Amino acid sequence: MRRSADHRVPPAAPVERGAAFGEEPLTDQSTAPAADRAARDLHAFIAALPKAELHVHHVGSASPRIVAELAARHPDSKVPTDPEALADYFTFTDFAHFIEVYLSVVDLIRTPEDVRLLTYEVARELARQQVRYAELTVTPYSSTRRGIDARAFMDAIEDARKAAEADFGTILRWCFDIPGEAGLEAAEETVRLATDDRLRPEGLVSFGLGGPEIGVPRPQFKPYFDRAIAAGLRSVPHAGETTGPQTVWDALTHLRAERIGHGTSSAQDPKLLAHLAEHRIPLEVCPTSNIATRAVRTLDEHPIKEFAAAGVLVTVNSDDPPMFGTDLNNEYAVAARLLDLDERGVAELAKNAVEASFLDAAGKARLAEEIDTYTARWLAA
Ligand SMILES: [Zn+2]
């Protein structure tokens, strides 16, 4: 989900932090102690597993700690600076409230130094979860429209990217996405920023489209995607998150999508599933996000099982993790439960993300090998 002030996503039921919402429970009440131990072991395995994250939003990754730091810089904001008060602030009563909180965080990103701080600190959180490689979805239009100079914005994210790689060993790459609700003007500005040789950042690998799907048909963005693809960027639009499978077909046909953000409704169309499987077009699945936005009613009804059964390349991602009370490790735990995976199965899931990533061949081979070595050591211990 790319955040916007659009409220056409069905209103969510009250959203709570913690067990009811994000944290995957270790067991249900009927589980025997041995199974409980196995679940704990699997969580520990996931926590230290080297991973790639392919669908996570820049501003949507601002944890309460990062938000507190930004809020302290801008005392005129109504966002609390005290971490405890922030925990309450991040407890959403409904989807409209979530949007309000999200936009108040957007309002804290006012200077290039704010952009740099956010980016660097997001990388720190990714590194803590053993994320070795992340494609971070950035919406430069939100910042340039608010008066941040485009050159300064690019310098800020690039500076943070290089510092994060040196300090944490986490490789960051960018996906610049069009905020769909802002229309073709935003598309024009985003493609300009992504393809102008004087501005385009070194870490940029892909071009996306987020925001609401209802009332924002994908085909109108074809000329912008054509330009981005001609400039060497990969196409990764959100599609089929809040609308039906036709939106995914549109993303494939008109936007030449190489991966699909969410693609949740693909499960309603067996032909589409077969097409995704045959052409190895990965889905960026974000289970907890789908529940939070009511794209899917409950985790147990999540179509990830149908995707896997149809042979689709499934990747697991976190979308806007702190806002949904989750993180990538928790999303892996959720997926492991839904797909009934053991350590080997979870390692394969992590390798799916490596395969679906836009790392070069050598980078993919290195990360896949690191996952294999880690898994072999874990199983031998
Ligand atoms: Zn998203």
The residue with greater pLDDT, 18 or 240, is 240
Confidence bin at 20 (pLDDT 50/70/90) = very low
Confidence (pLDDT) at 92: 74
Confidence (pLDDT) at 27: 46
DSSP 285-321: E-HHHHHHTTSSS-GGG-THHHHHHTT--EEE--BSG
CA of 57 to the centre of ligand 1 (A): 6
Confidence (pLDDT) at 1: 53
Confidence (pLDDT) at 25: 54
- What is the distance between the alpha carbons of residues 310 and 313, in angstroms, rounded to a whole number? 9
CA of 55 to the centre of ligand 1 (A): 6
Confidence (pLDDT) at 7: 30
Confidence (pLDDT) at 129: 97
Confidence bin at 32 (pLDDT 50/70/90) = low
CA of 319 to the centre of ligand 1 (A): 5
CA of 367 to the centre of ligand 1 (A): 24
Residue 13 has pLDDT above 70, yes or no: no
CA of 29 to the centre of ligand 1 (A): 33
For the question of whether the overall pTM of this predicted structure is more than 0.85, the answer is yes
Q: Which amino acid is at 369?
A: E
β partners of residue 207: 176, 235
Confidence (pLDDT) at 88: 81
Q: What is the pLDDT of residues 162-190, one digit of tens each?
A: 999 999 999 999 999 999 989 999 999 99
Rounded mean pLDDT, 304-315: 98
> What is the sign of the dihedral through the CA atoms of 362, 364, 367 and 373?
negative
Enumerate the domain spans of the chain: 35-380
Q: Three-state SS for 173?
A: strand
155's torsion region: left (phi>0), alpha (psi -120 to 50) or beta?
Answer: alpha
Rounded mean pLDDT, 269-283: 98
Q: Which fold has domain 35-380?
A: TIM Barrel (3.20.20)
Q: What is the pLDDT of residues 48-64, one digit of tens each?
A: 999 999 999 999 999 88
Q: What is the pLDDT of residues 215-233, one digit of tens each?
A: 999 999 999 999 999 999 9
**Average pLDDT for the chain:** 90
206, containing H or E segment? strand 204-210
Q: What is the pLDDT of residues 76-91, one digit of tens each?
A: 988 888 878 887 887 7
- What is the distance between the alpha carbons of residues 82 and 97, in angstroms, rounded to a whole number? 20
Confidence bin at 23 (pLDDT 50/70/90) = low
Active site residue 165: no
Rounded mean pLDDT, 126-152: 96
- Strand arrangement of the beta sheet that strand 234-235 belongs to: 51-57, 131-138, 171-179, 204-210, 234-235
CA of 336 to the centre of ligand 1 (A): 21
The closest of 298, 288, 236, 300 to 263, measured between CA atoms, is 236
DSSP 213-266: -TT--GGGGHHHHHHHHHTTPEE--EESSSS-HHHHHHHHHTS--SSEEE-GGG
Residue 38 has pLDDT above 70, yes or no: yes
Task: Give the active site residue among 241, 258, 284, 331.
Answer: 241
Residue 111 has pLDDT above 60, yes or no: yes
